[in-house]
Structure 1
Amino acid sequence: MQGSEMPHPISYYIPSKIGKLLNLKELFLRNNRLTGSIPFTIYNISSLRTLDLDSNSLSGSLPEDLGCIPANTGNLIGLLGLYLQDNNLQAIHIKITEEDNNLTADEEWDFLSSLTNCRELQVLNLGNNPLSGILPTSIGNFSTSLQKFDAPNCKLMGNVPSEIGNLHGLILLDLSYNDLNGSIPTTVERLWNLQGLFLQNSNLQGSIPYEVCQLKSLIDLQLTDNKLSGLPTCLESLVSLRNLQLGSNKFTLYIPASIWNLRNILYVNLSSYSLTGSLPLDIQNLRVLINLSRNQLSGEIPVTMGSLINLVTLSLAYNRFEGSIPNTFDTLRSLESLDLSNNNLTGEIPKSLEALLYFKHFNVSHNKLEGEIPDKGPFKNFSTESFM
């Protein structure tokens, strides 16, 4: 080598002769510095169930009729998973999984119609591609074998079609980080097996429909950063719910009492609303993470919060709470982060908080506290900004 010249990394092509492996069921070639296009001969391997070409430098386009019956250039009718994320693929009609590429599609996503013939398709992952356009009603024609429809950050527009309720086998639905409008369709109540519903950052409006409460298998509900304005009172019927994220919407009412009755809930985020009222005394069911910051909640912080022995994070910042910091907080043995800043709290900081072994973040700035600041245990590491 001369000067600072660096050797070019060796790259490889996928040989077209690979299409002669007519009994091949699984092909894993991820992260191998592959370049060039995907040989069309691969699409004729009708026995192929999994094709994994993640994290390469593949380019070119995919056939429009991939997965169709019949198909001149593609016969992957038995395909269960196709993984092509982190490449440089371009296509007009994209099938199955094209995550993290620069793919484009027709305006109304008509390419989905050709996929409804794939009766064994379980995963359709199109995430992080600038596909744009509108979800067509043909999405309701997929087989009940479809378990995961994943299309976050695809520049989707328009309504979520009511036909989405036909996907009875769906376990996960992710349409987050898009530019949707309209409301959540009431037909979601027919997604009986749904465990994860991700619609955050999607410009949705209206109320969360009562029909959401019919999703008894739902574990994860994420609707943050929308324009939703109404909460159903039936949320306690979501008996499997672990993660509830509703922050940064337009709710202006009291917190529904049903939320405090969720017995298996681990994480609650109701931050950045204009929620009013006080916290109830009986909130023993909440665990691990609670974020109620940036609301207009008032009254005293319930001493019964000391019973939340598994609580890791609690944020009540930017509210109108008054009274003292409960002495019962010293029983929160798992607590790592406590933010009570920007309220109207008075009295002293309980010295008993020095016993919290996992305490890493503490903020009571911008209150009306007085007296000495504890100086033992975790308080040795807190900055002056915590007590401004």
Structure 2
Amino acid sequence: MASLGDAAPFCCCWWWCSSRAVAAAADMAGDRAALLALRDALRLPGKSLRGAVPVGTVGNLTALRTLSLRTNAISGGIPADIGGCVQLRSLNLSGNRLAGRGLFSLALLEKVDLSGNRLTGGVSPEFSRLASLTTLNLDRNGFDGTLPGNLTLPKLARFNVSYNGQLGGAVPASLAGMPASAFLGTSLCGAPLAPGAVPVGTVGNLTALRTLSLRTNAISGRLPEGLFSLALLEKVDLSGNRLTGGVSPEFSRLASLTTLNLDRNGFNGTLPGNLMLPKLAQFNVSYNGQLGGAVPASLTGMPASAFLGTALCGGPLAPCANPSPPSPGGSKGVREEEEDRRERCHEKCNCRMRPEETQSCRAKFQNRLAAFNRHHMN
């Protein structure tokens, strides 16, 4: 396998496009001079190149218009001196092991393919400086965050950020005309994806996902069940949407959660009493106006601001008016009280009364219970 860091094999495979090793090509300076003679294109797809691109190699190809090193094993960063290729129109570094960034000074670039690498961080708004871009493929990397809302590429005809599992938020208006396939395997939403919905079939498949941020969109409906199968999730931010229904007890399955923000939605009902998240440090359900009942014991350590704009009580909030709030039917507390009376009556009848008084006591109890049932069950 050729190495970009070893002089002899690197030079041959780097510019002669030959699968044979040339022992005579041992002098990097001589090979670099030959490289300078290139005037148009350098294509080395699938040549088993490995290692980092030596500094001072690519940047000297000032007349180069096409550079393709796809499907090799090149590692390290995008060549730091690539800015010297001022005439470059087409750059294909897909299918390597590259990390980092740096190519925004190449104003003439028309096609960029960086798919299938190890690029991380946010998708930079600096791409807007490449006003001639018609193709931008960033799929199958490790990009995260949101797509820049000010990304403006007037000539862009092909765009792909699919299978960057930590990309989320809304698709910018400037990219709404791209096909839905350009955003598969992400947590993006909005046009051209289903409006107001998390893309079907994507959330549950992102098994390595640790951060999910879909805040401040227009996502509606209930949470997808696939969310609760993502066991590695550490941070979930769904605030500022239109989600409805109850806060699911299934969140307890996400034992690694440290952050759960559900504020400014339309959740209703009560918070699940069995919600157990041992690592949870930040929690927010504020401004879900239809949430009520008592704050569960597992969440009483959260600040009161986490529950503002709700009808919740207890914990860091004011005490609940009824420590054991009645069920929606309103009769649970009364029924429990009557059961207590029944126990006391039986105890009194069986232990403290003469046999002839016991029958009278029980008859009175049965009459009271029948009256109770007529009053509360009709």
Name the TM-score, length of structure 1 as normaliser: 0.49
Max Rg structure: 2
